Amino acid sequence: MPKTDVLLFAESNGSIPFIEWLDGLPSKVQDKCIVRIERLKALGHELRRPEADYLRDGIYELRICHRNIHYRVLYFFNKKKVVISHGLIKESDLPDGEIHLAIRRKEHYSEKPQTHTAKLD
């Protein structure tokens, strides 16, 4: 299977929510997130639990755990590309507001992909 292109969602003002979140995490967690993203690049839709899961309405999550803290990276597919919306720390259930935020970002990306795309370096 060919590698899947992974992009980052960018706000209209140019900020990149995932990078802002990732930069605030401990380096060990950052490394684990990058490894999980590399697996997503390699496997795309074929990546499954325990590494990834489908939530709803076209939104998926990458699942990372470090020292009993559950980190989630929300993403969606657009054609043959993956777009990472943002990351969060999951305390119990994943808040509906976080999924709704990813859905809104998916809609914005679909309307104007050139405005809402940042490359993953």
Lowest mean pLDDT among 10-19, 25-34, 76-85, 89-98: 89-98
β-strand partners of 72: 63, 88
* Span of 26-30, 77-81, 91-95, 106-110 with lowest mean pLDDT: 91-95
Question: pLDDT tens for residues 77-104?
Answer: 998 899 999 999 988 888 899 999 999 9
Does the pTM surpass 0.85? The reply is yes
Please report the domains of the chain, with CATH numbers, ordered by start residue.
5-119 (3.30.2310.20)
| Torsion angle in degrees (nearest 10) through CA of 56, 59, 65, 69 | -70
pLDDT of residue 2: 58
Contact between 64 and 50 under an 8 Å Cβ cutoff? The reply is no
Q: Is 67 left (phi over 0), alpha (psi -120 to 50) or beta?
A: left
> What pLDDT score does 79 carry?
86
- Predicted confidence (pLDDT) at residue 74 exceeds the cutoff of 70: yes
